Structure 1
Amino acid sequence: MATITFTLSDFGLASLAPLFPTVTFVPSGPGVADGRLFSSTPVEAMLAGDSGTVTLAPTDGVVPAVWYTVHITHLNAGGVPTHFDLLDLRILVPAEYVGPITGLPGVPISPTTVLVSLDPPPPGYKGFWLYSPATGQQMPLDDPRIGELRTVA
């Protein structure tokens, strides 16, 4: 097993603890290794203030290849879920790793990823962008960009 640690904050270095955050490590799929059959059930990290710890199965030797993505959610002042982050890395966990998340090998999510959105992709995004209206959103039917698939590099 591997134990990963981290400190959670926003980019202003403010604590997210008052917003009841959750940090979840999501396996890319099921797999087998060392006589075990692994489910793709997400694993939630334990948070104590701004410090987090999670114990994960290593990805070394898992067939088919498996990695983790990291999801971060938190609430607004009224207690309503309002924020979702997806760390844009495939996190690979070596056997017996103990240490900070920054020490783990991570590779960017595949350039074959397709982002479906009316808004342009975020800075640094690489992959495909499908211009698509949001559910229930009114759109001009004559908008030539609807359904257009663009490469973003």
Structure 2
Amino acid sequence: WPGMYRSLRAEARKGHMLPMAIELDGQFCGQLTVGNIVRGALRSAWIGYWVSKDVNGMGVATAAVALGLDHCFGPVGLHRVEATVRPENAASRAVLSNVGFREEGLLRRYLDVHGAFRDHLLVAMTVEEVPGSVSDRLVRSGRASWA
């Protein structure tokens, strides 16, 4: 963990990454990271996340990703955010679909996962596809509520 922490902090200081903790009721339960932030004409990044199994299925990941996207498209000033997900990961695919990502294609043998390069789906969203905020859209559609 100390090495990862130093790496995340160094990239964040350069403006290339936004590592964030996910908390529920004041308890740490996951991580959301916006990485490979590119400025200039592209204004793009990727978003990744994980949550503890104790909160799976409770909408925590969906809420975290929605709030992360609102931050990306708002104060960070990005135009496009991408994510990748393994095709068999139905739960993560649901999170990404629920917040409004659209599928763009299959990346064959994209990432080394457990010693083998695995296929991933590429999904993306641009700021023009978000009327208002992602989190507000989830609440209005009845797919989320804030306590």
TM-score of the superposition, structure 2-length normalised? 0.27
Structure of higher RCO (CA pairs closer than 8 Å, 6+ residues apart): 1
Instruction: Give the greater-gyration-radius structure (CA).
Output: 1
